[in-house]
Each structure stands twice: as structure tokens, then as C-alpha cells.
Amino acid sequence: MKNVLSTLMTFLLYGILIFMVVIVAVSKISGGESTFMGYQLKTVLSGSMEPTFQTGSIVAIEPTDDGTQYKKGDVITFLREEGVLVTHRIIEVKGSGENTSYVTKGDNNDGADLEPVLASNVVGKYVDFTVPYIGYVMDFANSKLGSLLLLVVPGVGLFGYGCISIWREISKLEDNKEKESAKA
């Protein structure tokens, strides 16, 4: 039973370490802009789209260069003038071609957004993929403290567990030697 638990603990610690290294590496390599299989991963920071997305969730969006192809009901991510990314649902499409703009609204908001969204400000479209609460981990991983803790803590845990395992094995060897000496 001890061997099974020991093996499970080792695999768990290695798994956590590898998972955290991947999260931090992907986050740092992409400059904080996490991507997976061509989709951008965005963190939901407010409750404006609840219950569709919970605050702290990760949503996947398909990036676009042409923001004119969307229709009423699509959920898009767009850039506001303040440089803030917002993900809301299109409730009305105005104009066509280069003059396309969208009236958007958060599912949990009472009214439409004040400013229409220009097609050129659309970053991408939500692709029906959400992972609840992982956004908190991703945001923490993007911070200096988060990067340090998410890499160091599992590594130290694995190192400590390795040291304890080695100490136990050495103790067993010494006990066996003492028993053999006592028999002789």
C-alpha cells in the first residue's frame, strides 16, 4: 500500500510541476496572450456575461483580421477605446462592408453598450469553449509572484519528497545491515 501511495504522490507532484511549467511558459512566451491550437484564451474579468461565462473563466476566441462577417447573436471580443478587451453579444448589426458596426450587450447587463463597436475593433469570436475559474490561475501565473510560486512550490515539494524517499531508503539499508551484523 505504501508503494502505491508513494508512486501516486510522485506522479501527482510531477504532474503539477509540469502543468505549472506549461502554464507559465505559454503565458510568458505569448507575452501574456495565451493561445491554444490557434485560439486565443481570454480571462473573463466581470460578470457582464453571466450566466454564459462565470467571472474568472477562460474563454476561447477565434482571432480575426476581418471583423465584418459577424451576425446578431454572435459573441465577440473587441477592443474599447481605453485599450480594454470586452466580450459581449451582438444584438444588432449596422451598415455593411467597411462601414459595419455592432451594437453589443452583456447577457447580464440591462441595456446595450453605449458605443457601437467598429468592425476594425473586433479581435475575434467566441468559439463555445469555456473553462470555469482557470482564469484566476492564468492571471496569477502572469504576475512575477505567480510565476515564481507556480514553478518553485511544486519543485520544492518534489525535491523535498525525493529527499524524504532517499532518507527512508538509506534508513532501511542501515537497518538491514544492523540486522545482518546482529545475526553474525
List active site positions: 46
Check: CB of residue 136 under 8 Å from CB of residue 44.
no
Q: How far is CA 39 from the centre of its chain?
A: 12
> How many helices (H) does the chain have, and how many strands (E)?
3, 8
Closest CA to 109 of 50, 54, 52: 50
Closest CA to 42 of 159, 120, 116, 130: 130
Query: What does the alpha-carbon distance between residue 170 and residue 167 come to, in Å, rounded to a whole number?
Result: 5
CA distances to 34, 97, 122 from 101, rounded to whole Å, are 27, 9, 10
Element (H, E) at 168: helix 144-183
Neighbours of 150 (CB within 10 A): 22
